[in-house]
């Protein structure tokens, strides 16, 4: 009779051991295939060496780095390495830093428009990207006193839309002071008036037109977004809105994601008292080959993988691996994918793992 009790108990222990072993195996780190043992970490080194070429960290920025290609095939990079420090680098076709310009101003006062650099606060601009001159030029103002009639404004707006290849629009509001109360009357405030400042170039001359007319039909938000799109790595895509869509290239080849032990991570809720939530994340390393000419740079980067969602643009063996992030706390630093740019006129390539860093390969 004891045997009848012992056999089910042994079976139970065996099944329990199997389930525990399976669970531990699922949560354990994956063993790294030998072929990835010599990949170099971009988290810990500023230079990734290949057989003949190197990839070196060129710029880091507190804000997104902007890039613009001139007709002379100089690449202009705009970054904000420190608070109120706006740095512009000029990379010549050989891959050397040929010149630089630094402006001490609030980044929100600086506009990078088709290679021109505009200081909105001082109402001046720089042609440095094109001629190397570091002295600013004063912007010519039009209708700053709002005395033009509607017909004259409309004619000027039509002329800008037809002839200018570089336009940006800012909307401002005047703030009238309250009227003093008369006797026992109520204190009154004039209505707030909005107006637009249209900054535009004809050739290399900059003008600003002030107008209170409705200009949305001529200068829509999509039009101005395209004008200010200083990005060699991405193209505008309404689906991706502000971020843009990474231009895919065969020179970036994602090879493998090594999963470490699965973690249950608790995130705080968003604004408005939203409740917190939990996610199951795999910490691990993404292994990638970056091809330049006849050489291949082999790099790895630590990040977190969530398999439930597929918001990244990273595919391995033709399959999207999930959602990737650089951290596991709010705000989440999402990783869409790696970015790469070169052309036949350049003797180097640019690479970026995120919008705040940029590397040069040569």
Structure tokens at 266: 């608790």
C-alpha span between 293 and 291 (Å, rounded): 7
For the chain, domains (ranges, CATH) are: 34-53+248-339 (no CATH), 138-180+189-228 (3.30.720)
Backbone angles phi, psi at 190, to 5 degrees: -70, 155
Identify each DSSP E strand in 294-348 by its residue range: 295-306, 315-316, 319-320, 323-325, 334-335, 339-341
> pLDDT by residue (tens digit) across 286-340?
999 999 999 999 999 999 999 999 989 999 999 999 999 999 888 889 999 999 9
> pLDDT by residue (tens digit) across 156-180?
999 999 999 999 999 998 755 555 5
State pTM to two decimals.
0.85
The residue-averaged pLDDT of 219-228 equals: 90
Count of helix runs (H) and strand runs (E) in the chain? 4, 28
> pLDDT by residue (tens digit) across 175-201?
555 555 555 555 555 555 789 999 999
Any residues with CB less than 8 A from the CB of 216 and at least 6 apart, and which? none
> pLDDT by residue (tens digit) across 16-67?
544 444 444 455 678 999 999 999 999 999 999 999 999 999 999 999 999 9
Element (H, E) at 15: helix 2-27
Residue 241: predicted pLDDT: 62
| Mean pLDDT of the chain, nearest integer | 89
Residue 224: predicted pLDDT: 87
Higher-confidence position of 350 and 17: 350
Least confident of 35-44, 141-150, 269-278, 279-288: 269-278
């Amino acid at each position: 009779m004891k045997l009848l009790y012992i056999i089910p108990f042994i079976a139970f222990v065996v099944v329990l051991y199997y389930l525990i072993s399976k669970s531990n195996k699922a949560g354990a780190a994956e063993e790294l295939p030998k072929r990835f043992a010599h990949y170099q970490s971009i988290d810990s080194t500023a230079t990734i060496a290949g057989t003949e070429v190197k990839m070196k960290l060129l710029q880091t920025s507190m804000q997104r780095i902007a890039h613009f290609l001139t007709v002379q095939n100089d690449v202009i990079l705009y970054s904000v390495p420190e608070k109120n420090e706006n740095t512009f680098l000029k990379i010549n076709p050989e891959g050397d830093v040929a010149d630089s310009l630094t402006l001490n101003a609030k980044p929100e006062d600086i506009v990078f428009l088709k290679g021109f650099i505009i200081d909105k606060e001082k109402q001046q601009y720089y042609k440095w990207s094109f001629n190397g001159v570091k002295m600013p030029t004063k912007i010519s103002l039009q209708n700053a006193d709002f005395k033009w009639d509607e017909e004259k404004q409309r004619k000027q707006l039509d002329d800008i839309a037809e002839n200018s290849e570089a336009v940006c629009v800012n909307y401002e509001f005047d703030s009238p002071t309250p009227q003093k109360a008369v006797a026992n009357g109520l204190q009154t405030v004039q209505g707030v008036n909005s107006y637009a400042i249209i900054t535009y170039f004809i050739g290399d001359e900059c003008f600003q037109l002030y107008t209170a007319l409705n200009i949305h039909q001529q200068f829509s938000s999509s039009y101005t977004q395209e004008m200010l799109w200083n990005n060699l790595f991405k193209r505008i895509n309404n689906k991706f809105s502000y971020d843009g869509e990474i231009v895919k290239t065969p020179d970036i080849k994602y090879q493998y994601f090594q999963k470490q032990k699965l973690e249950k991570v608790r995130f705080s809720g968003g604004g408005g008292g939203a409740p917190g939530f939990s996610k199951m994340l795999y910490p691990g390393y993404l292994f990638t080959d970056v091809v330049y000419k006849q050489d291949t740079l082999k790099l790895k980067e630590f990040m977190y993988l969530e398999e439930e969602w597929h918001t990244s643009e990273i595919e391995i063996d033709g399959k999207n691996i999930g959602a990737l992030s650089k951290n596991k706390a709010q705000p989440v630093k999402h990783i869409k994918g790696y970015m790469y740019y070169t052309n036949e006129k350049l003797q180097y390539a640019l690479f970026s793992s995120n919008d705040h860093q940029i590397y040069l390969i040569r």
